[in-house]
A = this chain, B = another copy of it.
Amino acid sequence: MKRTKIVDVLRSTDFGNNVNVKGWVRTHRSSKAVDFIALNDGSTIKNVQIVVDPSKFDAETLKNITTGSCLNVVGELVESQGKGQTVEIQCKTLEIYGPCGSDYPMQKKGQTFEYMRQHAHMRLRTNTFGAVFRIRHNMAIAIHRYFHEHGFFYFHTPIITASDAEGAGEMFQVTTKNLYDLKKDENGKIIYDDDFFGKMTSLTVSGQLEGELGATALGQIYTFGPTFRAENSNTPRHLAEFWMIEPEVAFIDLNDLMDLEEDFIKYCVKWALDNCKDDLEFLNNMIDKGLIERLQGILKDDFVRLPYTEGINILEEAVRQGHKFEFPVSWGTDLASEHERYLVEEHFKKPVIMTDYPKDIKAFYMKMNEDGKTVQGTDVLFPQIGEIIGGSVREEDYDKLLGEIKRRDIPMKDMWWYLETRKYGTCPHGGFGLGFERLILFVTGMQNIRDVIPFPRTPKSADF
């Protein structure tokens, strides 16, 4: 008999016929007259109820049907008498694929998230993490669909890089050198001739610069791949290994870029609301009562478009009115998360796209405005999490870009190929970056970034 997934069984009305389900036991309640087994196969957060007449089965078998054990069940699909479920299965045959002892780490309910992290190999079998990772899947699908439908090409930028030009953060070194026998030159400097790539290499911190090579050839591309930061930040917002999405578009200006950012992120949020209803309802009930309302809120209004300078004026006015911020605010400083959240959650009460930042707080590649002071950066600020997208129009002028590279002492050995995009047939272009786990935090209501990636990599932790 062909197995049916539980997500399909729960939608079925094929009452009176036999059905085969396979999955893991969430709960097993016994009484003299009847046993109820809640079975889950990961296809949905909902369990199917298996109703067992204990007189028809071996008592020893029934005793071994414990939380976490794996079953193969054939039975008749019937309309359910119980509340909150529409179908159940009257068990006819039952096979235990895998028993599960009382030392099963996911045995007890209500364990802390920290406990769950220590058992990340098993937490996937719980309701919360099942919901989170089904939503994570759906967000990835939404991203690929959005870009494919809009004529972008998925572009794989390299993970191992010999460049450290972007300066986005500290890097992990990648090597095949024998650390017990490091060759050095006469000045004591390590020689990399015999390393795998013949030079010092690291893990990428961003695919943007290579993405620009793609966009200035294929027109519009996006990356979606792992990115690395060797920062010793033990916070609920930082991972050493995380996934980034970085679209890059030729022939785009600041306004079109903001339109793209807003349209894209709304598409993702709408996808979650349309395709992850059961999982979102579970998380809304169990994790964050405001979740679904907050997601719907994103779709309701146009995002505010706010030049940095106006944002600073609003924040300075708030300070004058007595609002207390931890960090001072003045033109030229980078906004802290509290400032971003004040603008989004208290002042405008909707998402904000901030633009035209002072050049010195932004990266070298951003296009300079005519004022000579600000650059065409565009960051999207969201409730709860602050910056969710960071983007900009890129400086397409060869001489201006070269001037900025020199002013910042960026090594030219890493820059020649990037500069050639401006030397040969340069074009106006721009793009943005979205931290995938930031998006998942927002869409799931989870509080710690370690809980929205299957196996988090953080300082002193690389388990599984």
Q: How far is the CA of A198 from the CA of B461 in the complex (A)?
A: 7
Q: Do B455 and A158 touch (CB < 8 A)?
A: yes
Q: From residue A240, how far is it (CB to closest CB) to chain B in Å?
A: 7
Contact partners of A281 in chain B: CB under 8 A: none
Q: From residue A353, how far is it (CB to closest CB) to chain B in Å?
A: 21
Q: From residue A100, how far is it (CB to closest CB) to chain B in Å?
A: 5
| Contact bitstring A279-314, B, C-beta under 8 A = 1, else 0 | 000000000000000000000000000000000000
Contact partners of A218 in chain B: CB under 8 A: 42-43, 124, 130, 133-134
Q: From residue A187, how far is it (CB to closest CB) to chain B in Å?
A: 12
Interface pick from A355-363, A379-387, A422-430 = A422-430
Q: From residue A194, how far is it (CB to closest CB) to chain B in Å?
A: 10
Q: How far is the CA of A232 from the CA of B425 in the complex (A)?
A: 37
Q: Do B137 and A153 touch (CB < 8 A)?
A: yes
Q: How far is the CA of A125 from the CA of B217 in the complex (A)?
A: 5
Q: Do B160 and A213 touch (CB < 8 A)?
A: no
Interface status of A199 (Cβ within 8 A of chain B): yes
Given contacts A151-B7, A179-B179, contact A121 B454 (CB under 8 A): no
Q: How far is the CA of A25 from the CA of B427 in the complex (A)?
A: 12
Interface pick from A29-37, A76-84, A169-177, A402-410 = A169-177
Contact partners of A421 in chain B: CB under 8 A: 121
Q: Do B250 and A427 touch (CB < 8 A)?
A: no
The one of B105, B175, B462 that contacts A158, using a Cβ cutoff of 8 Å: B462
The one of B104, B232, B243, B464 that contacts A210, using a Cβ cutoff of 8 Å: B464
Q: List 14 A-B contacts (CB under 8 A).
A: A43-B218, A70-B426, A100-B424, A105-B424, A125-B216, A156-B454, A157-B455, A160-B241, A172-B174, A172-B175, A176-B230, A179-B179, A180-B190, A196-B230
Known: A159-B226, A197-B459. 5 other contacts (CB 8 A): A22-B250, A121-B421, A158-B241, A201-B462, A213-B464
